[in-house]
Amino acid sequence: MSVNVFIDGGAGTTGIEIRDRLAGHTDVAVIVLDEARRKDPAARAEALNDADVVILCLPDDAAREAVSLIRNDRTKVIDASTAHRVDPTWAYGFAELEPDSREKLTEAMRVSNPGCYPTGFLALVRPLVRAGLLPADWPLSVNATSGYSGGGKALIAAFEDPNAPDATDTAFRIYGLNLAHKHVPEMTTHAGLSVAPIFLPAVAHTLRGMIVEVPLHLHALPTRPDIAAIRALLAETYQGSTLVQVDQDEHAILRIEDVAGTDLLRLYVFGNEKTGQGRLVALLDNLGKGASGAAVQNLNLMAGLGETTGLQL
């Protein structure tokens, strides 16, 4: 029996990418509303309640409204907005993050899909906090650069359409300068931190891909871990994972496009033993493991299907 899935907001970038991954998924049937019915509140409510699993690709307020329209106790929800990412009544949809995350997701009715930047940050930082190598109150910074598809259709048009009202040909720009980016609470909460990291996001002139970096003064940490110890901890944490890989190449040259077009998350640990400094790096596709790929992975777990079915490896 196939699983009926309704993607609310399926015309957006994340929704389209999810549809692409589900196209060859023989265990899933996607409920599709035509243009007229998609804007009909009654038809939308019907689809929300007919689905076995609903995936919300909506702004926060619209996502909350969609959840309120579900009148049964059967329909499961994956929310790709930020509306429920720090809500303790929702399971956090990062299967590899905690030892019991995958089990919780297989039993969950409500799952919040992680943000793209937090996915890279948490994969690097959470194991260190959990193991006691990184104190919960340690002052962290995180530098991260995304492809412009992370800004949705408007930003894609700005970069790709010279006639767009805000067209740009910039190669690289920083933003979030008020240090109040919406991803910071998610990073803080799920890393187990008591002090919010300083988040330094940027967008590059490339469609997709993401680099997330966390610098560490290893010599100043209470346990003084060396680079090898951190690399070994991450390797042990994600041992056996298909999607999260820890690369041991100390001389790798990393590019934002390296895993673009896949649903992989690749982690690296670099540093200088003499200075006691480390540089933790995560590579992912902002539309893959950072969004649509994660949603399909969560769908598979919640529906009892093969976890990586439909994903790009």
- The model's pLDDT over 229-271, given as tens digits with 9 standing for 90+, comes to 999 999 999 999 999 999 988 788 999 999 999 999 999 999 9
Q: Where in the chain is CATH 3.30.360.10?
A: 116-286
Q: For residue 141, list its beta bridge partners.
A: 198
What pLDDT is stored for residue 264 in this prediction? 98
Tell me the C-alpha to C-alpha distance, in Å, between residue 36 and each of 39, 75, 108: 6, 24, 32
For 3-114+291-303, CATH gives 3.40.50.720
Per-chain mean pLDDT for the chain: 95
Cβ proximity of 204 and 260 under 8 Å: no
Mean pLDDT of 147-176: 89
What pLDDT is stored for residue 152 in this prediction? 86
How does residue 212 score in pLDDT terms, banded at 50, 70 and 90?
very high
Q: Where in the chain is CATH 3.40.50.720?
A: 3-114+291-303
Active site residue 116: yes
What pLDDT is stored for residue 164 in this prediction? 87
What pLDDT is stored for residue 166 in this prediction? 86
Cβ proximity of 114 and 93 under 8 Å: yes
- Closest Cα to residue 291, out of 144, 151, 191? 151
- Residue 146 pLDDT exceeds 70: yes
- Residue 10 pLDDT exceeds 80: yes
The overall longest dimension of the chain from CA atoms, in Å, is: 65
Collect contacts of 127-131 with beta carbons under 8 A, ≥24 apart.
Answer: 127/233, 127/234, 127/237, 128/230, 128/233, 129/191, 129/192, 129/193, 130/98, 130/192, 131/233
Distance CA(183)–CA(176), nearest Å, equals 10
Cβ proximity of 33 and 44 under 8 Å: yes
What pLDDT is stored for residue 267 in this prediction? 98
Helix, strand, coil percent content, the chain, rounded in steps of 5: 35, 20, 45
Among residues 116, 158, 212, 295, the one annotated as catalytic is: 116
Distance CA(94)–CA(124), nearest Å, equals 13
For the four alpha carbons of 286, 312, 26 and 72, in that order, the dihedral sign comes to: negative
Give residue for tokens 């110890």: 229
pTM for this one? 0.96
- The predicted-structure confidence for 168-200, as pLDDT tens digits, reads as follows 889 999 999 999 999 999 999 999 999 999 999
What pLDDT is stored for residue 1 in this prediction? 64
- Closest Cα to residue 224, out of 135, 115, 313, 146? 135
Distance CA(96)–CA(126), nearest Å, equals 11
Listed in sequence order, the DSSP H helices in the chain are 13-22, 35-38, 41-50, 60-69, 101-107, 116-131, 152-160, 184-191, 227-237, 293-303
CATH superfamily of 116-286: Dihydrodipicolinate Reductase; domain 2 (3.30.360.10)
